[in-house]
Amino acid sequence: MTRPYTVVALVPTGIGAEIGGYAGDAIPVARAIAQVCDRLITHPNVLNGAQLYWSQPNVSYVEGYGLDQFAAGRWGLRPVHQNRVGLILDKAIEPDLRLRHLQAADATRATLGLDLTDYVVTDEPLGVSLRTSEAGASWGTLDNPDSLLRAAERSIDRAGAEAIAIVARFPDESGDAFDRYRSGQGVDPIAGAEAVISHLVVRQFQIPAAHAPALSPLPADPSVSPRAAAEELGYTFLPCVLVGLSRAPQFADASTGEEGIVRSRDIDAIVVPETACGGSAILNLSQTAARIVAVRNNQTQMRVPPAALGIRAITVNSYLEALGALVAHRAGISPAALSPHLSPSRPLS
Amino acid sequence: MTTHFITAEIDLTESPKQLHQDIEAELEKRGEPLRWAVTETNPETGKAKVEAVVTQDRNA
């Protein structure tokens, strides 16, 4: 009798994670973890590579607010074969850029076979504002969140959407923060606002949602880092979002007696950057029996290692070591047995 | 509805569960929490710095 070995992989967005803080550059981490577990639950920041993505049957695309509720034991995850994906476009997107997004959507319908509903345009510009906090994290707010929620309601009730892709017009970027991001350093200046946008829809409607920013195209730049290069490939950041949402698990009440729902108690391990242990999900999951694996060489702008909050975790130097820790854990092998020196058994003091 | 970026300082506790409850209770005084994280801790002062976005009803 066995249970599926289930891992949660977290790389919070907007905190300058050296791996995963750029253009879907944690996808290799997700692919590797997916190889050593039965089920990987992760979130859009890990899997969104703009035009690039990698969809696997045992990898679940779970939006951050939904993941927080799942970790809190309030929501469970119901696997699906396919979601009808609704598309919401910010009224503020210019006609040419809107056309690019509609063509990206049509491309996923024709070339990937995704099922998209008729799209909805918000009744007001959403009005995204960006900020960088004292801690160095990226955050953002919306002038018109109600317009977003009205559009989502129309998409669900009238278009029949089961998951929502949101495209908001973001300020066209310039300046040091933006240049550093494209060169593979620093914090993604738009990430925090993106999370707020999708969180609003997931909180209100309890269905999968994710965001892709609408930005004007940029001239070719030889200084773009490989980690940020996936965002240079096209006119939109939409394909990865549509692919992710097309098979994102639905949210169910965790107390349901329904079979086949994945709950927080089903989690065996969580992999997280060592300094980013201050989020709601990791605090809640630390209360379960799951093993927390903190990765030292994925540095972030945050300064919250597990011990600072009384969270029990094992710390490894790299994702390669993390994979080893997961394999050992899954096999029921104590990490101490894989070291050359093993102390004799001691009496309890 | 309006969205607001806020910060808070919370007393550190030995229990992550208690800390989570304390953070949400503090943020709920200022709106409905949407997204938050502890960004830094200070063992000397025993405080955790929290950054968050909360929402408020327009009529509130």
Q: What is the pLDDT of residues A139-193, one digit of tens each?
A: 999 999 999 999 999 999 999 999 999 999 999 877 888 888 888 888 998 999 9
Q: Which domain holds residue A192?
A: 85-239
Residue A1 lies in a domain: no
* Contact list, B37 vs chain A (CB under 8 Å): 12, 15, 137, 276, 278-280, 302, 304
**Together in a domain, A167 and A298:** no
**Together in a domain, A229 and A89:** yes
ipTM confidence score = 0.95
Q: How many domains does chain A have?
A: 2
Quote the strand ranges of A162-249, DSSP E.
163-169, 209-214
Residues above pLDDT 90, as percent of chain A: 91
Q: Report how far apart the first and last C-alpha atoms of chain A are (Å, whole number).
A: 36
Look at residue B60 and tell me whether its pLDDT is greater than 60.
no
Look at residue A2 and tell me whether its pLDDT is greater than 70.
yes
- Which residues does B contribute to its contact with A (CB < 8 Å)? 1-5, 7, 12-17, 19-20, 34-41, 43, 48-51, 53, 55, 58
Look at residue A202 and tell me whether its pLDDT is greater than 60.
yes
Residue A313 lies in a domain: yes
Look at residue A218 and tell me whether its pLDDT is greater than 90.
no
Give the pLDDT confidence of A326-339 residue by residue, as tens digits: 999 999 999 889 99
Residues above pLDDT 70, as percent of chain A: 100
Residue A348 lies in a domain: no
**Together in a domain, A147 and A283:** no
pLDDT for the residue B59:
64
Quote the strand ranges of A135-227, DSSP E.
138-142, 163-169, 209-214
Say which CATH number the domain at A164 has: 3.40.50
**Together in a domain, A89 and A235:** yes
Look at residue A228 and tell me whether its pLDDT is greater than 80.
yes
pLDDT for the residue A180:
86
Residue A301 lies in a domain: yes
The residue with tokens 């020196």 is A341
* Gap between the Cα atoms of A238 and A108, Å rounded: 9
Average pLDDT over residues A186-212: 96
Domain end, chosen from A209, A239, A269, is at A239
Cβ contact, residue pair A64, B49, below 8 Å: no
